Structure 1
Amino acid sequence: MTDEIATSAEAIENAHLPSIREVHTNPDAKCASEGGIPKALKEPTGRKSPAQWAYERIILYIQNFEKQLDNDEEVGMGFVGGDAGVIKIEGLGYYDPDLITFYGSDGTGAKTQLIQHVSQLNVMLRAAPKQVDQAEPNRIGFRLAKELEREDDATA
């Protein structure tokens, strides 16, 4: 790994610690930051690629969305600006420096994968009915969030 020379302004910008703020019309609405922010999201953003940084924040929003679902609902993702429909989110990943991918299935059960550049990222989370043969809804956000509490360096 080579060290890059940065101006003092770039060093300050790269060391910026992320922050989150939400305001809702309903004072009882659950905010994504409620219950604490995972360790990975408290790290300076300067060493993260745009893909990793988007991936980590999307996990937080998915987990918060799932906290608000009924036991007969799971998280789905609608495609903003397209007519591809809704997919049930079954996985999420990134490919540095700038791609995010969502794995899942559509309403017919067909395997689906969306690969998107971070500059085009628009995600709409939707409540979707869980599969009838499942006793409990699948909560992908809580599994994904475990990764954000990792002890190792997020950029390694």
Structure 2
Amino acid sequence: MTRASAKADPPVFVPDWGDKPCPEPLLPAATPEQTAAMTDGVRMRENPAEWAFVRLSKLIEDYEKTLDRDEEIAAHIVGVPGEGTMQIEDVGFWGPDFILFIGKNANGRPVRLIQHYAQINVLLDARKKPEERPARRIGFQLSEMVQKTNPK
């Protein structure tokens, strides 16, 4: 197999979607425009953690569109001790298998959750911003990162 044909093959961990650069999410209440916005410019990634990160960032960006101006994104992480709530300040990945959530716990202390891409269960939630400042939106930052690393 040549290097060029290897790039055309889908990653081993996903089925072949043909000439589609990204599978579309199946969200019953989403309009075709909302679905198109979430997949616009997104391409599959060979690295499963990066691929999970790309789609997670798009879901975060879409969720943030529903927040009030005094709310920020928070998450309930399933399987985390205690209440399992953290205010998300950043999301990243360390391929091939880790997704990283950086933020603050309910007491305002810094936390970092390192989770295997196959174990992600995140309930996105809204939380009032903690101080007098504009609400922070991380979805746009994540989207910029996705575009910078997007394969051509």
* 1:23 paired residue number: 28
Deviation of 1:95 after TM superposition, in Å, equals: 0.8
CA contact (8 A) 1:31 1:64 kept: no
**Secondary structure in 1 matching 2:72:** strand
Equivalent position amino acid for 1:80 in 2: V
Deviating runs (4+, > 6 A) in structure 1? 9-12
**Secondary structure in 1 matching 2:35:** coil
CA contact (8 A) 1:32 1:60 kept: no
Instruction: Report matched runs for 1:1-156 at 5 Å.
Output: 13=15, 16=18, 17=20, 18-20=22-24, 21-24=26-29, 33=35, 35=37, 37-39=39-41, 41=42, 43=43, 45=44, 47-84=45-82, 85-134=84-133, 136-150=134-148, 153-154=150-151
How many Å separate the matches in 2 of 1:36 and 1:63? Answer: 8
CA contact (8 A) 2:17 2:23 kept: no
Deviation of 1:65 after TM superposition, in Å, equals: 0.7
How many Å separate the matches in 1 of 2:141 and 2:70? Answer: 18
How many Å separate the matches in 2 of 1:102 and 1:37? Answer: 22
CA contact (8 A) 1:38 1:145 kept: no
Deviation of 1:137 after TM superposition, in Å, equals: 0.4
CA contact (8 A) 1:90 1:104 kept: yes
Deviation of 1:66 after TM superposition, in Å, equals: 0.4
Deviation of 1:54 after TM superposition, in Å, equals: 0.3
Report the aligned-residue RMSD.
Answer: 3.2
Unaligned runs of 5+ in 1: none
Q: TM-score, normalised by structure 2?
A: 0.78
**Residues 86/10 of structure 1: CA separation in 2 closer, same or farther (3 Å cut):** closer
Identity %: 30
How many Å separate the matches in 2 of 1:11 and 1:103? Answer: 28
